[in-house]
Structure 1
Amino acid sequence: MAGALAGLRVLDLTNTLMGPYATQLLADMGADVIKVEPPGGDPVRGLGPFRNPGMGAIFLQVNRGKRSLVLDLKQEAGRDALLRLATTADLLVYNMRPKVMERLGLGYADLSAVRPDIVYAGLFGFGQDGPHAGRPAYDDLIQGASALPSLAVQAGATAPRYVPLALVDRVVGLYGVGAITAALWHRERTGEGQRLDIPMFETMASFVLADHMGGRLFDPPIAPPGYARLLSKDRRPYATRDGYVCALIYNDGQWQRFFAAVGRPEVWRDDPPFRTISERTRHIDAIYGLVAEILAGFSTEESVALLERADIPVSRLATLASLIDDPHLAAKGFFVAIDHPSEGRLTMPGIPGRFSATPPAIGRPAPRLGADSRAVLEEAGLSAPEIAAMAEAGVTLSAP
């Protein structure tokens, strides 16, 4: 069965992680994604570990399902070739700063002139009508700008630190896919293309403040910003005698069952701070501290069994290694083994969702640099002599 986006052609002018992750999701759902790379390739090609240069582990994941076309867009022949390709494309995605696209002669006006109904989506650092418009941005920078490291300090960390994954790139990439599919649905109904600006900073500000606006939501403010439960220093995996468990005791029934299960029913019965969610939130540090003290007297196995019997959400603390070997993921067939023509057998994290009629799937393996240059240029109508001349001038190259 074809994916939900089968027949959609995407020109992918993105590199690193945020943009390629968004277009990888589109490819998983069936889109024909043409990854347009400069002659030096996407920098993430060099990020190991790898078996062969230019085919690093992260690149192999976020560029699966795509075709690689090398074009030097700084040369007129490269720009012209891209505009010829755009006449057959539904969507162009880029993550350069918009002024760079304008300087290349590849702004929205240029693309819509050759394909009026194109959806033109930019994922970049800051909205273009604010004072930070021209600033470059990476995941770490936007984590800092959106207060994530300082939230860690509010929650008890000894110093600010970044979340140890490319959280901003993933969140903004996901948001970008939602915005793109909405624009494509609008085009389906009206025939109208449009330009999308998807800024990292504003997206993450919305993401963070959705939880932490707090009393600043009201005008005038009635309390400081911040959600107390999320900022509690004891909102962390609970230490047991021999490890850690992750548990969330949240509603009235769960709290009552927890104290009954640990032989302390009088705490729920006689201690007012436990009786309502409002009171628990006001006293969250003391409450989480008490839970931590109680669970420290149990082993991990005992804690999990006790909380499961009380119907309280609980899990053991995973590591990266145990996550990869998780029995639930194994039973679901989450990981997909593919054979790459140059990199050998690969084990890919799979696609989490399920579609009953148009299931997504991992398509072709991530491409070698320029693996599809000739085929894609021929599809755009370029002749063999034209392609040869472009190769001779360094505008394109094909993988051996």
Structure 2
Amino acid sequence: MLPLQGIRVVDLSSVVMGPYASQWLGDFGAEVIKVEPPSGDSTRRTGPATELGMAALFLGVNRNKKSVVLDIKTPAGRDELQSLIATADVFMHNIRPQKLARLGLDAQTLRGNYPRLVYAGLHGFGEDGVYAGRPAYDDVVQGLSGAVALMQAKTGDAQYFPAVAADKTSGLIAALSILAALLKRERVGQGSYVEIPMFESMVAFNLVEHLYGRHFEPSLGAAGYPRVLAPARKPYATIDGFVCLMPYTDAQWAAFFRATGNDDLATDRRFTSIAARTAHIELLYETTAGIVEEEATAYWLALCETLEIPAAAVHSLASLEDDEHLRSCGFFQMVQDGRNGTLRFPGVPVKFDGERPGISCPPRLGEHNTSLFGRRGPELSRGIDEALHAIQQANQETP
């Protein structure tokens, strides 16, 4: 039995932040019902696909879910959504609050109707700030939250992190916050309104290490953790490739220098303590790079294993599938699907009592309308059936 078995989540979110959060809940055993408009989540069309509406990005954040099509702009669609929410433990969305208020789906209304409901609003910005209600996407929040500034400090060029880092970070925080609210409900018998703003979440993420000297008032130095911002902090070039090696403690650095014939560096005061190494971090990395470039990658991996210094070769994204550790622990999981054939997924990284949760294929658009709603009223039925018929027809035309 997975920890969230028996918990029903009605998820009105789309794109990445919300779906990533609800995917974690589904991975942990919750019944996640993804509510989509007739056009479907936009990620259904983002990336390569063998079936219309089942593109790569959608597969990445929507496993272990059900899908229903509802047009909540219509009274019938809102009625059906309300019927789902009445049975739910969690209602979550990433729609701007003022839009939901006009549809009677605001937190105050729903929590008044369903006191045990955990209502999670995944917003771009906190509702009590001057940015409240503004639209937000990953690129925008990366720029505002300091992520671009970090990349510029590191590379000299204003860039985004090469990942939808704001969406995924905020999604993780949303999943964590929803779990906390569910635990509170078990203790006090009442639901909660949980607000998860992307901007504030990403600022908190970036400043864990980078607030640095500005933790203090007056400031004891600039913001930015020097070690990770050092331009020379990167995989070390070897004779035949690259290696990531990370002596960290005083003893590890001393052992590394001695093992490479650099006894003088082992006693160099610039490198004998973590405070001194931080103050001279660029020199430390440049010095180490000069040592590492003299030998092959395998040499350094073997030496570091002997010295008990963390080290690893550099994977490509594709070569991760062949990593011996991931293979041995059965991390990647293959799912057989009627139309798509064999699909590969990164597994759920967490195990419960030694067991890794399983994975079900992300749902086709509206796949669970019939099983969840049964016989529908004519108005609602017509709208859903027309949308599903259009999708089915398009699928038949897909080569």
| TM-score class normalised by the smaller sequence | over 0.9
SS of the equivalent of 2:265 reads: helix
Which runs of 5 or more residues in structure 2 are unaligned? 393-399
Q: Do the aligned partners of 1:234 and 1:285 also contact (CA within 8 Å) in 2?
A: yes
Q: Do the aligned partners of 1:72 and 1:395 also contact (CA within 8 Å) in 2?
A: no
Corresponding residue for residue 131 of structure 1: 130
Query: Take 2:385 and 2:83, find their aligned partners in 1: how far apart are those partners?
Result: 15
Q: Do the aligned partners of 2:10 and 2:32 also contact (CA within 8 Å) in 1?
A: yes
Q: Is it true that 1:14 corresponds to 2:13 in the alignment?
A: yes
How far apart are 1:393 and its partner, in Å? 4.3
Q: Do the aligned partners of 1:118 and 1:193 also contact (CA within 8 Å) in 2?
A: yes
> Against the structure 1 CA distance between its residues 188 and 385, is the aligned structure 2 distance closer, same or farther, given a 3 Å change threshold?
closer
Corresponding residue for residue 289 of structure 1: 286
Q: Is it true that 1:141 corresponds to 2:145 in the alignment?
A: no
Q: Do the aligned partners of 1:7 and 1:31 also contact (CA within 8 Å) in 2?
A: yes
Among 382, 386, 390, the residue aligned to 1:392? 382
Query: Take 1:376 and 1:226, find their aligned partners in 2: how far apart are those partners?
Result: 51
Alignment of 1:92-241 (within 5 A): 92-155=91-154, 157-241=155-239
SS of the equivalent of 1:274 reads: coil
2:306 is aligned with what amino acid? R
Corresponding residue for residue 372 of structure 2: 376
Corresponding residue for residue 302 of structure 2: 305
Query: Take 1:395 and 1:79, find their aligned partners in 2: how far apart are those partners?
Result: 17
Query: Take 1:111 and 1:4, find their aligned partners in 2: how far apart are those partners?
Result: 26
1:162 is aligned with what amino acid? Y
Q: Percent identity?
A: 43
- Higher normalized contact order (CA 8 Å, seq sep 6+, divided by chain length): 1
SS of the equivalent of 2:270 reads: helix
Corresponding residue for residue 271 of structure 2: 274
1:392 is aligned with what amino acid? R
1:283-318 Cα shifts (integer Å, max 9, x gaps): 111111100111111111222222222221100111
Corresponding residue for residue 328 of structure 2: 331
Q: Is it true that 1:30 corresponds to 2:26 in the alignment?
A: no
> Against the structure 1 CA distance between its residues 94 and 397, is the aligned structure 2 distance closer, same or farther, given a 3 Å change threshold?
same
1:376 is aligned with what amino acid? L
Query: Take 1:7 and 1:245, find their aligned partners in 2: how far apart are those partners?
Result: 46
> Against the structure 1 CA distance between its residues 164 and 385, is the aligned structure 2 distance closer, same or farther, given a 3 Å change threshold?
closer
How far apart are 1:228 and its partner, in Å? 0.9
1:339-391 Cα shifts (integer Å, max 9, x gaps): 1232221111101111118x55234321111111122123xxxxx251x3312
Q: Do the aligned partners of 1:308 and 1:314 also contact (CA within 8 Å) in 2?
A: yes
Alignment RMSD, CA only? 1.6
Which runs of 5 or more residues in structure 1 are unaligned? 379-383
Query: Take 2:356 and 2:379, find their aligned partners in 1: how far apart are those partners?
Result: 38
Q: Do the aligned partners of 2:69 and 2:384 also contact (CA within 8 Å) in 1?
A: no
How far apart are 1:216 and its partner, in Å? 1.0
Q: Do the aligned partners of 2:118 and 2:181 also contact (CA within 8 Å) in 1?
A: yes
Q: Do the aligned partners of 1:108 and 1:195 also contact (CA within 8 Å) in 2?
A: yes
Q: Is it true that 1:361 corresponds to 2:360 in the alignment?
A: no
How many residues were matched structurally? 390
Query: Take 1:376 and 1:284, find their aligned partners in 2: how far apart are those partners?
Result: 59
Q: What TM-score do you get using the length of structure 1 for normalisation?
A: 0.94
2:304 is aligned with what amino acid? L
Query: Take 1:26 and 1:91, find their aligned partners in 2: how far apart are those partners?
Result: 10
SS of the equivalent of 1:134 reads: coil
Query: Take 2:147 and 2:17, find their aligned partners in 1: how far apart are those partners?
Result: 18
2:220 is aligned with what amino acid? I
1:302-341 Cα shifts (integer Å, max 9, x gaps): 2222222222110011111111211110110001111123
1:230-254 Cα shifts (integer Å, max 9, x gaps): 1111111011122110011111100
